[in-house]
Amino acid sequence: MKAKDLGEKVEECLEILFKLEKDRERVKMTELAEKLRFPYSSMTVLLQKLSNMGLIDYEPYKGVKLTDKGKELAIKVIRRHRLSERFLTDILGFDWSEAHEHACKLEHVITNKIEEKLDEKLGKPTVCPHGNPIPTANGKIIFENDIPLSELQPAEEATITRILDENSNLLRRLVAMGILPGVKVTVKEKSPLGGALVLKIGDYEVALGHDVASKICVKTDVPPHRRRHRRRRGSRRIQ
Amino acid sequence: MMFCHERSKKAKNIGNAVKILLAGNPNTGKSVFFNRITGIGVIISNYPGTTVELLKGKTRFNGKEIVIIDLPGTYSLGAGSMDERVARAAILEEESAIVINIVDASNLERNLYLTLQLLELQTPIVVALNMIDEARKRGIEIDHEKLSELLGVPVIPTVATRGEGIKEVVETALKVIDGKITIRPMKVQYGRDIEAIIQELEKVIKERLKTIPRNIRARTLAILLLEGDPEIVEEIKNIDSKVVEAAKRLAEKVEELHGEPASLRIAKERYGVAHSIAKAVTTRYKRKTLFRERLDTLTTNVYTGFPIMISVWVALFALLLYGGSFLEELIVFGWESYVAPIIDKGLFYIVPNEFLYHVISRGLILGLEAGLAVVVPYVTLFYIALAILEDTGYLTRMAYLMDNIMHKMGLHGRAIIPLIAGYGCNVPAVMGTRVLETRRERVLAAFLITLVPCSARTVVILGLIGQYIGLLAVLVMYTLNLAIIAVSGFFLNRIIKGETTGLVMELPPYRIPHPIPVLKKTWIRFREFVYIAFPLLIFGSLFLSALEYSGFLRPVASLMSPVVVGILGLPALTGITLFFGILRKEMTLEMLIVLFGTTDFLAIMNIHQMIVFTIVVTLYFPCIATFAVLGKELGWKTAILIAISTIILAIIIGGITNLILTYFWM
């Protein structure tokens, strides 16, 4: 089955799933329905359809996960969306804030051929007008190589990339204390007993529990291969 | 005539009293500031419908009556926590008020985040740039005139601990109210596309809403809705759900544009503004590492931190043990030899009925003595020590060190503070669980607190185990108790359902505590305790002495004997003492003396029974005052459940100890 045969909703669903999955293992059906603005009652039908096509792995009560095939297709849709945005702003002269809405429509009618020509015409752009990366033609997307803050060792410096916020209350608390993406932090002290740590942010210090620290993703300036030997055994990288 | 005139004038003044609200981050010296302006007559009241406390104080300044309200210290003004909700509500509610925003000069950027939110709410503010001395020590110099220019509000450098600049801040605030100084607060400007979205939502708001609740400006409301502020969203939803829908749609647009939630984007940009302001007014110098910074490293590093923590604990308990018992003896001696006989005599002449006389005299004298003998020496001493530890900033380090252990009990590091307070007295410790975020954590912590041997129980442990076995055995008792608390916590964590939050806590730099706030804090806690515990102590004493004199106690004892004698292996009459212990735990000892007519406890119980007895006294039923506080803070159902559980726990542990001692020991 080719991408162009798929309904608009299917593509949109994959796109949203892809974005949501960045922050968690499985996506809940209610959340997906809300983001899609699709009636909850019809969700099962839609998900069943996607599941039959082999695009998602759907387990009732647990949630949805994209399969490799689904991921590939989602990346394709994102590529077309972001290319469309560039086209709208660079060539048609749309305003940034308007571009997104129109691109949402455009992305679904673009064929492989149009996509190719568009890419060429625009000079093979790497980022959309809002600064998000455009996946390459063969489906590569540049991920940020971030690791949980809880993996850092004392004296390591890093920049926060994102906060995995299943609980928006935690996000609020962290943001209020100046812990948010883009902020540079240094691990001042770390307890070997269970991983609570003291973080230095500018002129002040904040103590974080291990569970909180594992929900904050950071990027270190040290390349990953050089960091590895400094990390403890059993550490895990998140995508 | 003259008198009348005076009074009416005074009344008028109170009616027109100027209201000043103190807002600021935690650890910015806000309470020192508050204490500097206000006198001793501070009123604590819960904000209606919440457990958040507001401190209110009155003062006169240049002939003007001023009411000062100390808002809870918060990092922001969203409705993320109850504290923030209350702070914002109070600011929006007090129309004629002015806010003094206390800002930590050594930590300007993060503190400005709250300042910007205050400006967005369109409240008149005066900024007190506090702790400039500390900032200087840390190599930070701030151009307060430039800061004032940028923010568009007065900025006055202060050192609250020394009282510098405080008068000026209040003076300026009054001038702003009188219109002698006009302020032109800066507009917090967001990025181009965010501004466009804010304006779009503002338009929707202006079209659809005739009036905005609490006089929030349309622009501010738009920002709050985009941030998804739960309280505001709920409020507007009830008026016009279309506005909320529009806000949601626009917030999603922001998310699509920037790849992050609108709330985060807005916060980020606000921090951006704070950063550029802070950068523009700050000059940094090179400086040496301060001693307090070295101390900070020593106390948070595990290898040095734990030994330091244990030493601090030992010192604290040694102080209680020696200092407390010394004071107690002094007070009890004074009471029994001078005050009590007078009351007794007085009652003898006043109360005509002999039965009533015995009940009242005994109940009143014992009840008051309990309060004086336990509360005054132990609890007060403990509170002073605790307030000092708190104000130095050490307690937060302790909370950090204990976080991993507390986690096993479903709590996080912060819960250690009320738990330690429990060693002084369970009553304020249970109140102290308010610092915890969720109900689950509060119930868990409160339960564990009731198992902590308070000073009254310490009296029993020392009086029996310490006296007849030795101090080492006392240590074993405490360790055993810690183990019981740990195990109970471990199991409760599995049983109690609900949300758990993690530790997110600022570690403020070490500071030398200031005596006035320390004493005031102690006084406030002490007063709170007296209000709750004293009436209960006296009423309970009266009730029990009535039972005693009417001869109802023997049937109670025989009712309890299957458990007391059968399971615990204690003399039957000790059941009565346990009944008295509900009132106050150390009364179990006094009742033993009264009932058996001897002060030699070995004549009443053997060593093995003493151990069981002490364990049971330590664990069973939190005393009546604690029970009352549990009910007030967590609801009566929970309080009853906790009480019953502790009784069962006491019987089980006591029973097991009895078995072990009977069969395996000698």
Q: Is B403 on the interface with A (CB under 8 A)?
A: yes
Residue B587: pLDDT above 90? no
B237 contact partners, CB below 8 Å, separation of at least 6: B244
**Number of CB pairs < 8 Å for A and B?**
145
Residue A6 confidence (pLDDT) above 50: no
Asked if pLDDT for residue B436 goes beyond 50, the answer is yes
Q: Which of A129-143, A180-194, B411-425, B477-491 has the highest mean pLDDT?
A: B477-491
Q: Enumerate residues 6+ apart whose C-beta is below 8 A from B248.
A: none
Task: Lowest mean pLDDT of A88-92, B323-327, B367-371, B438-442, name the range.
Answer: B367-371
The last residue of a domain, from among A120, A142, A164: A142
Quick one: tokens of B410? 């479903």
The end-to-end CA distance of chain A, in Å, is 28
Q: How confident is the model at residue A226 (pLDDT cuts 50, 70, 90)?
A: low
Segment among A13-17, A194-198, B79-83, B584-588 with least mean pLDDT = B79-83
Residue ending a domain, among A126, A142, A158, is A142
Is B375 a residue whose pLDDT tops 70?
A: no
The better pLDDT of the pair B336, B613 is held by B613
pLDDT at B2: 38
Sequence-separated contacts (24+) of B554-563 with Cβ below 8 Å: B563/B651
- Chain B residues in contact with A89 by the CB 8 A cut-off are none
Torsion A122-A126-A128-A131 (CA) sign: negative
Give the residue on B whose Cα is nearest the Cα of A215. B502
Task: Using the predicted structure, report yes or no on whether residue A223 has a pLDDT greater than 60.
Answer: no
- Three-class SS of residue B131? coil
Final residue in a domain of this structure, among B120, B150, B178: B178
| Shared-domain flag, residues B318 and B241 | no
Residue A238 lies in a domain: no
d(CA B310, CA B292): 20
Distance from CA of A237 to the nearest CA of B (A): 21
CB B70 within 8 A of CB B53: no
Same domain for B126 and B221? Answer: no
Provide the mean pLDDT of chain A. Answer: 79
Better pLDDT: A95 or B130: B130
Cα–Cα distance between B429 and B445 in angstroms, integer?
A: 9
Domain count for chain B, please give it: 3
Q: Read off the CATH number of the domain in which B262 is found.
A: 1.10.287
| Whether the predicted pLDDT of A4 surpasses 90 | no
Average pLDDT of every residue of chain B: 86
B66 — phi, psi (to 5°)?
A: -125, 135
Given a contact cutoff of 8 angstroms between Cβ atoms, the answer to whether A97 and B193 are in contact is: yes
What is the Cα–Cα distance from B378 to B55, expressed in whole angstroms? Answer: 26
**pLDDT confidence band for A2 (50 / 70 / 90):** very low
Q: What is the pLDDT of residues B637-647, one digit of tens each?
A: 999 999 999 99
Q: Which residues of B touch A192 (CB under 8 A)?
A: 302
A28 is a domain residue: yes
pLDDT band for position A225 (cuts 50, 70, 90): low
Q: How far is CA B568 from CA B342, B487, B613, in A?
A: 41, 21, 8
CB of B140 closer than 8 Å to CB of B284: yes
Indicate whether A29 and A130 sit together in one domain.
yes
Residue finishing a domain among B150, B178, B206: B178
> Which residues in B168-192 are b (16+ Cβ under 10 Å) and which e?
ebbbbbbebbeeebebebeebebbe
Tokens of A157: 């410096």
Instruction: Provide the pLDDT for residue A106.
Output: 87
What residue of A is the nearest CA neighbor of B393? A205
In the sheet that holds B125-130, the strands lie side by side as B43-46, B53-61, B64-70, B18-24, B98-104, B125-130, B155-157
Tell me, yes or no, whether A235 lies in a domain.
no
What pairs with residue B141 in β-bridges? B283
CB distance A209–B81 less than 8 Å? no
> Distance between CA A158 and CA A165 in Å, rounded?
19
Q: 3-state DSSP: chain A helix, strand, coil percent, rounded to 5?
A: 45, 20, 40
Q: What is the pLDDT of residues A56-65, one digit of tens each?
A: 888 877 788 8
In a domain, A66, yes or no: yes
Q: Could you give the percent of chain B with pLDDT greater than 90? A: 36
pLDDT digit string, tens, across residues B121-163: 888 999 999 999 999 988 999 999 999 999 999 999 999 988 8
The CATH number of residue A12's host domain is 1.10.10.10
Decide if B292 is inside a domain: no
Residues A36 and A77 in one domain: yes
Asked if pLDDT for residue A198 goes beyond 90, the answer is yes
In this predicted structure, what is the pLDDT of residue A238?
42
CA distances from B506 to B107, B303, B309, B354, B623 (A): 12, 21, 19, 61, 34
Segment B66-117, tens digit of pLDDT: 899 999 999 998 767 788 888 998 888 876 689 999 999 999 999 999 999 9
Calculate mean pLDDT across residues A165-190.
Answer: 84
Query: How many CB atoms sit inside 10 A of residue B448's CB?
Result: 25
Query: Over 50: is that where the pLDDT of B218 sits?
Result: yes
Q: At a CB cut-off of 8 Å and minimum separation 6, what does B117 contact?
A: B76, B77, B78, B270
Q: What does residue B408 show for φ and ψ, rounded to 5 degrees? A: -65, -20
Does one domain contain both B405 and B523? yes
Q: What is the structure's pLDDT at A23? A: 64
Does residue A134 contact residue A128 with C-beta atoms inside 8 Å? yes
CB contact under 8 A, B502 and A171: no
pLDDT at position B398 is 93
Give the whole-angstrom CA distance, residue B146 versus residue B152.
Answer: 10
Task: Give B-chain residues touching A176 at CB under 8 angstroms.
Answer: 74-76, 78, 80, 84, 113
Q: Which residues of A touch B309 (CB under 8 A)?
A: none
d(CA B99, CA B70): 10
Mark whether A26 and A73 lie in a shared domain: yes
| B residues 38-67 closer than 8 Å to A (CB) | none
**Any residues with CB less than 8 A from the CB of B421 and at least 6 apart, and which?**
B382, B386, B428, B429, B432
For the residues B610-624, what does the mean pLDDT come to? Answer: 91
- Average pLDDT of span A18-29: 76
Region B407-427: mean pLDDT is 87
> What are the CA-CA distances from residue B390 to residues B299, B436, B455, B478, B479 (Å)?
14, 16, 20, 24, 25
**Residues B4-29: what's their mean pLDDT?**
66
Q: Is B250 exposed, middle or buried (0-12, 13-18, 19+ CB in 10 A)?
A: buried
pLDDT at B143: 96
Q: Is B135 a member of any domain? A: yes
A179 and A106 inside one domain: no
| Chain-chain contact of A96 with B113 (C-beta, under 8 angstroms) | no
Q: Are strands B125-130 and B155-157 parallel, antiparallel or unpaired?
A: parallel
Under 8 Å between Cβ of B66 and B34 = no
B502 & B354 share domain: yes
Give the per-residue pLDDT at A167.
59
**Is B479 part of any domain?**
yes
pLDDT (mean) for A16-34: 78
State whether A171 and A95 are in the same domain.
Answer: no
In a domain, A49, yes or no: yes
Give the pLDDT score at B349.
86
Q: Please report, for the domain that includes residue B148, its CATH number.
A: 3.40.50.300
**Cβ-proximal residues to B29 (8 Å cutoff; 6+ apart), any chain:** B102, B104, B130, B131, B160, B161
> Is there a single domain that holds both residue A129 and residue A199?
no
Chain B residues near residue A211 by CB distance under 8 angstroms: 407, 502
Identify the three-state secondary structure at position B107: helix
Q: Is residue B145 part of a domain?
A: yes
Q: Is the pLDDT of residue A229 over 50?
A: no
Give the model's pLDDT for residue A232: 45
A36 close to A13: Cβ distance less than 8 angstroms: yes
Does A198 sit within 8 Å of B300, measured CB to CB? yes
For residues A101 and A174, membership in a common domain is answered with no
Q: Identify the CA nearest to B638 among candidates B444, B419, B425.
A: B444
Report helix, strand or coil for B19: strand
Using alpha carbons, list the distances in angstroms from residue B291 to A154, A199, B138, B219, B511. Answer: 21, 19, 11, 47, 11
Question: For residue range B166-212, what is the model confidence (pLDDT) as tens digits?
Answer: 999 999 999 998 889 888 899 999 988 899 999 999 999 999 888 88
The whole domain housing B202 covers 192-274
More confident residue, B642 or A14: B642
Are A89 and A128 in contact by the 8 Å Cβ rule? The answer is: no
Residue B282 lies in a domain: no
Is residue B550 domain-shared with residue B425, that is, in the same domain?
yes
Cα B577–B482–B625 angle (5° rounding)? 45
Structure confidence by residue, pLDDT tens digits, B513-570: 888 888 887 887 777 777 777 777 777 778 777 877 777 777 877 888 888 888 888 9
In angstroms, how far is CA B208 from the centroid of its own chain? 43
| Residue keyed to tokens 């406390």 | B53
* Chain B residues whose beta carbon lies within 8 Å of the beta carbon of residue A165: 261
Beginning with the edge strand found earlier in the chain, give each strand of the sheet holding A184-190 in spatial order.
Answer: A147-148, A216-220, A157-163, A184-190, A197-201, A204-208, B504-507
What domain count does chain A have?
A: 2
**A78 and A174 share one domain:** no
Contact (Cβ atoms closer than 8 angstroms) between residue A85 and residue B257? no
Taking CB atoms and an 8 Å limit, are B507 and A97 in contact across chains? no
Inter-chain touch A196–B501, beta carbons under 8 Å:
no
A112 and A1 in a common domain? yes
Are A109 and A166 contained in the same domain? no
Last residue of a domain, one of A94, A124, A142: A142
Which ranges of B507-635 does DSSP label H, i.e. alpha helix?
515-549, 553-561, 574-581, 587-596, 607-619, 624-634
pLDDT at residue A239 in the model: 37
- DSSP class per residue in B115-130: HHHHHHTT--EEEEEE
A74 domain-assigned? yes
3-state helix, strand, coil in chain B (%, to 5): 70, 10, 20
Q: Is residue B2 part of a domain?
A: no
**Is B501 within 8 Å of chain A by CB?**
yes
Q: Are residues B319 and B417 in the same domain?
A: yes
Going by C-alpha positions, the residue among B207, B193, B206, B202 that lies closest to residue B225 is B202
B301 to A189: CB separation less than 8 angstroms, yes or no:
yes
Are B503 and B557 in a shared domain?
Answer: yes
Shortest Cα distance, chain B CAs vs residue A113, angstroms: 26
**Closest A-chain CA to B76:** A176
Q: Angle CA(B389)–CA(B392)–CA(B396) in degrees, nearest 5? A: 70
Query: Residue A231 pLDDT more than 80?
Result: no
One domain, residues B247 and B308: no
C-alpha span between B99 and B86 (Å, rounded): 14
Distance from CA of A191 to the nearest CA of B (A): 6
CATH for A169: 2.30.30.90
Q: Of the residues B232, B259, B274, which one is the last residue of a structural domain?
A: B274
Parent domain of A77: 1-142
Q: Residues of B with CB below 8 A from A173's CB?
A: 80-81, 504
Instruction: Name the band, by pLDDT with cuts 50, 70 and 90, for residue A53.
Output: confident
User: Exposed, middle or buried: residue A25 (CB in 10 Å: 0-12, 13-18, 19+)?
Assistant: exposed
Band (pLDDT 50/70/90 cuts) for residue A29 is confident
Same domain for B498 and B599, yes or no, is: yes
Q: Are residues A130 and A60 in the same domain?
A: yes
* Residue at B202: amino acid letter: E
More reliable by pLDDT, A158 or A126: A158
Same domain, A65 and A16: yes
Q: Which of the residues B400, B510, B511 would you substitute to probe the A interface, choosing the one with the greatest number of A C-beta atoms within 10 Å?
A: B400
Q: Is B407 touching A (CB cutoff 8 A)?
A: yes
- Same domain for B443 and B475: yes
Same domain, yes or no: B169 and B197:
no
Confidence of residue A143 (pLDDT cuts 50, 70, 90): low
> Residue A233's pLDDT is what?
41
**Which of these, B85, B437, B123, lies nearest to B231 by C-alpha position?**
B85
Question: Token match 């899609």: residue?
Answer: A36
